[in-house]
Amino acid sequence: MDNLKIGCYIQHLRKTAGMTQKELAEKLNVSFQAVSKWENGDALPDTGLLLDLCDTLGTTADKLLNGGVFAARERRLMPLEEVTEAFRCMEEVGRLLGENSTFFTGMIEGINEKMNMDLLTYLKDPVTREVMYAEALIQGIMEGRTVDMDEIRASFQNKHMIDVIQSYIDKAGADQ
């Protein structure tokens, strides 16, 4: 582990959150000197504080301990086939349990509310269904997953969606 890299990342996240060292220290019940030592690379946060620190700074322990870079295991491939299967499985819940099932309606209503959309309507249309696949892939890319652009180009009809996915891949690569 690179203490200085971790410290710089903690400092970056703290400043991005608009907090002073003292404010972060108060949230974690430590001294501002402890936060200063972390940021200077002189010490690492105690393991007992790690999860609270990550929650406060909006990151993961894995990313924090890698100085802001996703670990290699997080960069696993997200096959388009798995994305399409996930959407098929959501639809299958309605078929298997009934479209009026509390499980199905709760799942769909939760997605609709969180994403401000009508998922079932979007999934009925091939064009908007592809947009949903792209959104899922983009979210995966933003979380450190990789995608096979050859697979995307061969499967997607919408060139704009292909370009958008590629732009997120490029941005993720630049952030590494």
Dump pLDDT digits (tens) for 40-52.
Answer: 999 999 988 999 9
Which pTM was predicted?
Answer: 0.57
> Where residue 74 falls among pLDDT bands split at 50, 70, 90?
very low
- The whole-chain average pLDDT of the chain stands at 90
* Confidence at residue 160, expressed as pLDDT on a 0 to 100 scale: 95
Angstrom distance (rounded) from CA 152 to CA 163:
10
Angstrom distance (rounded) from CA 137 to CA 128:
14
For residue 145, the number of C-alpha atoms closer than 13 Å in the C-beta half-sphere is 17
**Domains in the chain, ordered, with CATH?**
3-69 (1.10.260.40), 80-175 (no CATH)
What are the phi and psi torsion angles at 135 (to 5°)? -60, -45
What are the phi and psi torsion angles at 141 (to 5°)? -60, -40
* Confidence at residue 73, expressed as pLDDT on a 0 to 100 scale: 45
Q: What is the pLDDT of residues 92-148, one digit of tens each?
A: 999 999 999 999 999 999 999 999 999 999 999 999 999 999 999 999 999 888 999
